[in-house]
């Protein structure tokens, strides 16, 4: 086992069959996506073909960090900057089927 084995997070399996496509094109939010765990979650979502929003405080950093994950090339995701406050996070998560916070 390599160094990554001790840091591998638990991943949820998402069943998004029956999801209303009118609600959003990106049913999953990965909050804190620019970090180590966030990039692993993004990779797993891409592997499963699940579109997502990579969210965090700095859109430029999100875009740079997502670009480091080769499995995301051509995958349907978008980067969104959001303030770390209740109103902004509520707006971000409203209407989503799944959210994943890699840090709080």
Instruction: Report how many domains make up the chain.
Output: 1
The verdict on residue 97 lying in a domain is: yes
The answer for residues whose C-beta is within 8 angstroms of residue 58's C-beta and 6 or more apart is 34, 81
The verdict on residue 91 lying in a domain is: yes
The verdict on residue 9 lying in a domain is: no
Q: What is the pLDDT of residue 102?
A: 63
Alpha carbons 49 and 57: distance in angstroms, whole number? 25
Q: What is the pLDDT of residue 20?
A: 36
The CATH number assigned to the domain holding 63 equals: 3.40.50.720
The verdict on residue 57 lying in a domain is: yes
Q: What is the pLDDT of residue 5?
A: 40
Phi and psi angles of residue 79, each rounded to the nearest 5 degrees, phi first: -100, 135
Alpha carbons 22 and 73: distance in angstroms, whole number? 25
Per-residue pLDDT of the chain (104 residues; tens, 9 = 90+): 334 443 434 333 334 444 433 346 888 999 999 999 999 999 999 999 999 999 999 999 999 999 999 999 999 999 999 998 899 988 888 888 877 766 55
Q: What is the pLDDT of residue 103?
A: 57
Alpha carbons 76 and 7: distance in angstroms, whole number? 26
Alpha carbons 56 and 62: distance in angstroms, whole number? 7
The verdict on residue 76 lying in a domain is: yes
Domain extent for 67: 24-101
Q: What is the pLDDT of residue 30?
A: 93
The verdict on residue 10 lying in a domain is: no
The verdict on residue 4 lying in a domain is: no
Is the pTM higher than 0.75?
no
The verdict on residue 62 lying in a domain is: yes
Tokens of 98: 């799944």
Q: What is the pLDDT of residue 25?
A: 84
The answer to whether 10 touches 82, Cβ cutoff 8 Å, is: no
């Amino acid at each position: 086992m390599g160094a990554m084995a001790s840091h591998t997070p638990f991943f949820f399996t998402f069943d998004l069959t029956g999801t209303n496509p009118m609600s959003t094109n990106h049913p999953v939010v990965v909050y804190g996506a620019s970090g180590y765990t966030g990039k692993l979650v993004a990779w797993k979502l891409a592997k499963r073909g699940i579109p997502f929003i990579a969210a965090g405080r700095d859109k430029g950093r999100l875009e740079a960090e997502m670009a480091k994950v080769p499995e995301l090339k051509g995958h349907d995701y978008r980067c969104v900057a959001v303030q770390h406050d209740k109103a902004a996070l509520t707006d971000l998560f409203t209407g989503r089927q799944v959210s994943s916070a890699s840090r709080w």
